[in-house]
Structure 1
């Protein structure tokens, strides 16, 4: 790798590589030590092409979810079978892997700026800003940046745009899918909300079994399928469709909501 080689966003790849290595060393025990992560679907990761892959997932913390995916995806690519044992897999990380995050979140502190350099595509939320509801138009540059990232490699997105469970998916995800026609891989996670605070930086409880299930790519008719149909397909795939609420006890749902009220984002 050239000393000054950069990705399409102008980030120095050598610096990015060392940031990912450092963050991986710091965070590894959060998923294999203090807590344990159970993984399914490593073989799917190894079958994917190097570019134009969109991972869609439910969301439980700001950062712990995506950091876990960086661990799992890199471990899978290096031949680990549903395991992140032996951190050597991070020595040659996949550098063209990105994740979509709110711009205001990624500007909060030095740590979030480092996390952003490691791979975020920062976008302006159209429905929320600085803790208040807003209603603004989508920035075409944000959509274009996601397209640039897909053209370069893999992108992870959390289409609910919130860590609160069972919220509707943002339709912008279906527009991205129809426009850029990526391979869409659903990922379902659990246990992160119980393990970490809302930011995903502080360990809230040890000994929690976390899980990550990587599913087969979705079959999507990019040209003829409607935006609403794609959204519904995603909701079922990441297990966030409203129908799932019918099998969840009301008491459990209320407990989720109470917990979310306590988990405010502070820097």
Structure 2
């Protein structure tokens, strides 16, 4: 690889590789030592093409979710089955992995700016800004940048646009799917909200059972499925449809931080 080769966003790939290596080494213990990340679906990742893939996931922290996915993706591509044991996989990471993030989040300090260089496709949220509700038009450049990233590689997005569970799916994700026709792979995560602070930078609690399930790609008719149909498919795929509240009540969701041990016991199937 030429030393100063750049990706479509002008980022120097050698520099991006070094950032992923350094922060991969630093963050690895968060999922292997302080907490235990259980993974399902590594074989699905290895069956995907090198580009034109969109990952959709529920969201629990600003940064820890994405960092875990970088670990899981690269470990799987290095031949590890549902494991991130032995961080050597991070030495030669996949460099065309991107994640969609709010521009204001990625500009909120030096560390987020460094993270952004590792693969952020920054967008201006149309519904929220500086902690307040807003209502503004979608920037065409944001949509085209997401499309550029999809054409170049794998893109991670959180279609609810918030770390609050069971919030509505943003229709913009469905429009992007219909426009760029990527392979859409759902991911369901859990445990990150209990083990990290909201930003996902500080460890809040140790020995939490974290989980990441990679599911089979969605069956989407890009030409005939309506936006509303795709939104519903996403809701079910990432387990954020209101019907899932029958399993976990709203009252329980509001008390998640006080019920960590009970929730961990409910997930003992991971150890079976």
Q: Same fold (TM over 0.5)?
A: yes
- Displacement of 1:257 in angstroms is 9.3
| Alpha-carbon distance in 1 for matches of 2:258, 2:167 | 15
* Aligned 1:205-216 pairs, distance under 5 A: 205-216=205-216
Secondary structure of 2:170's match? coil
1:175 aligns with 2:161: no
CA distance in 1, matches of 2:171, 2:105: 21
Report if aligned partners of 2:194, 2:257 keep a CA contact under 8 Å in 1: no
Of stretches 145-154 and 248-257 in structure 1, the one that deviates more from structure 2 is: 248-257
**2:6 aligned residue:** 6
* Structure 2 residue aligned with 1:101: 101
Matched residue SS, 1:172: helix
Alignment CA distance shift 1:39-1:11 (3 Å): same
CA deviations 1:121-156 (Å, max 9, x no partner) are 000000000011000000000000000001100000
> Which position in structure 2 is the counterpart of 1:111?
111
1:150 corresponds in structure 2 to: 150
SS of residue matched to 2:255: helix
Determine if the alignment matches structure 1 residue 50 to structure 2 residue 50: yes
Instruction: Find the residue that maps to 2:62 and give its secondary structure.
Output: coil
**Whole-Å separation in 2 of the counterparts to 1:63 and 1:122:** 14
Alignment match, 1:24: 24
Number of the residue aligned with 1:262? none
> Do residues 137 (structure 1) and 137 (structure 2) align?
yes
1:13-92 map, 5 Å: 13-92=13-92
Q: CA deviation at 1:255?
A: 1.3
Aligned in 2, Cα 1:35/1:258: closer, same or farther, shift over 3 Å?
closer
Correspondence for 2:166: 166
Distance verdict in 2 for CA 1:229–1:258, change over 3 Å: farther
Measured in 2, the distance between the counterparts of 1:140 and 1:250 equals: 36
TM-score normalized with structure 2 length: 0.94
Tell me how far apart the structure 1 counterparts of residues 156 and 195 of structure 2 sit (CA, whole Å): 21
4+ long deviations beyond 2 Å:
256-259
Q: Distance in 2 between matches of 1:167 and 1:97?
A: 26
Q: 1:197 corresponds to which residue?
A: 197
Shift of 1:254: 2.7
Say whether residues 1:241 and 2:228 are aligned partners: no
Aligned-residue CA RMSD (Å):
1.2
- Matched residue pairs, number? 259
Query: In structure 2, what is the Cα distance between the partners aligned to 1:144 and 1:161?
Result: 18
**CA offset at residue 250 of structure 1?**
4.1
- The DSSP-based 3-state class of the residue aligned with 1:122 is strand
- Which position in structure 2 is the counterpart of 1:263? none
Alignment TM-score, normalising by the size of structure 1:
0.95
Secondary structure in 1 matching 2:233: helix
Q: Deviations over 1:177-230 (max 9, x none)?
A: 000000000000000000000000000000001000000000000000000000
**Structure 2: where are the runs of 5+ without partners?**
260-272
What SS is found at the alignment partner of 2:185? strand
Aligned equivalents of 2:236, 2:136: Cα separation in 1: 28
